[in-house]
């Protein structure tokens, strides 16, 4: 069976997500301080954490919709801060927009573009993300034939639906696909359970904890073409 499709996780697989998340949180906070100071004043650090948890608990239907969950949290935060329904709705939308703009400004790992360019010449390339990153807003967008987010599908990896979306889109069998990702549970177990091949991107060089091991493990994306060749050759 030949390999014809490579699917990628995005956050912490093609870039380090931490800097953009920190920046996005800061920008969202600045927006609130400027436009809805009462919402910021309503909770101290500890109380804010509890408040966020209570929003998550009360809205399990948004568990796979990270953008809607954040918008809901921003809305409730402003209601708690004494703002009107109208102010809270418009404020949640605007604060989320500034957050998302910063969150999607990611810096690809320096080797990522060369590797993706090479792979795109030989394979159909897709993105499967649980987050709200958009590959088409990065310099790597040209190399991707498709992208699905948990928000598109309504459920997150490791649920089979994310991987099934890739199968349906490409019309290939699971054993013709290699999924590449950093998360042992979401990426490796999820794809393995679907019968796909897996490459674990282990940049932080963590130990493998349990469960079926990935077909290959790499610590830098430069190693990916060789890892794919190994799998394709059945080695």
Rounded to a whole number of angstroms, the CA Rg of the chain reads 20
Q: Which distant-in-sequence residues (6+ apart) come within 8 Å of 71 by Cβ? A: 92, 93, 96
Separation between Cα atoms, residue 199 and residue 231, nearest integer Å? 9
* Nearest approach, Cβ of residue 235 and Mg ion (Å): 26
Nearer to Mg ion, 151 or 183 (CB): 183
Nearer to Mg ion, 11 or 215 (CB): 11
Nearer to Mg ion, 5 or 188 (CB): 188
Sites of contact with Mg ion (CB under 5 A): 9, 11-12, 182-183
Task: Tell me which residue of 212, 163, 166 sits closest to 189, measured CA to CA.
Answer: 212
* Nearest approach, Cβ of residue 177 and Mg ion (Å): 17
* Nearest approach, Cβ of residue 173 and Mg ion (Å): 25
Question: Look-up: residue for tokens 């949180």?
Answer: 25
158: cis peptide before it, omega within 30°? yes
Nearer to Mg ion, 106 or 227 (CB): 106
* Nearest approach, Cβ of residue 183 and Mg ion (Å): 5
């Amino acid at each position: 069976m030949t390999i014809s499709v490579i699917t990628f996780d995005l956050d912490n697989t093609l870039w380090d997500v931490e800097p953009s998340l920190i920046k996005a949180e800061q920008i969202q906070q600045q927006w609130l301080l400027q436009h809805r100071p009462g919402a910021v004043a309503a909770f101290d650090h500890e109380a804010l954490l509890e408040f966020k948890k209570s929003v998550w608990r009360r809205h399990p239907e948004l568990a796979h919709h990270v953008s809607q969950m954040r918008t809901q949290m921003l809305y409730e935060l402003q209601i708690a801060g004494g703002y009107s329904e109208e102010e809270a709705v418009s404020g949640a939308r605007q604060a989320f927009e500034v957050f998302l703009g910063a969150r999607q400004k990611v810096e690809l790992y320096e080797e990522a573009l060369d590797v993706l360019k090479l792979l795109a010449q030989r394979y159909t390339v897709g993105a499967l993300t649980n987050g709200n990153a958009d590959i088409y807003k990065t310099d790597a967008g040209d190399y991707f034939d498709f992208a699905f987010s948990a928000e598109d599908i309504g459920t997150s990896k490791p649920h089979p639906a994310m991987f099934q979306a890739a199968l349906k889109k490409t019309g290939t069998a699971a054993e013709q696909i290699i999924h590449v990702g950093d998360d042992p549970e979401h990426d490796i177990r999820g794809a393995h359970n679907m019968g796909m091949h897996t490459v674990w991107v282990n940049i932080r060089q963590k130990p493998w904890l349990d469960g079926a091991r990935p077909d290959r493990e790499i610590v830098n994306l430069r190693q990916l073409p060789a890892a794919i060749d190994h799998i394709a050759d059945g080695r």
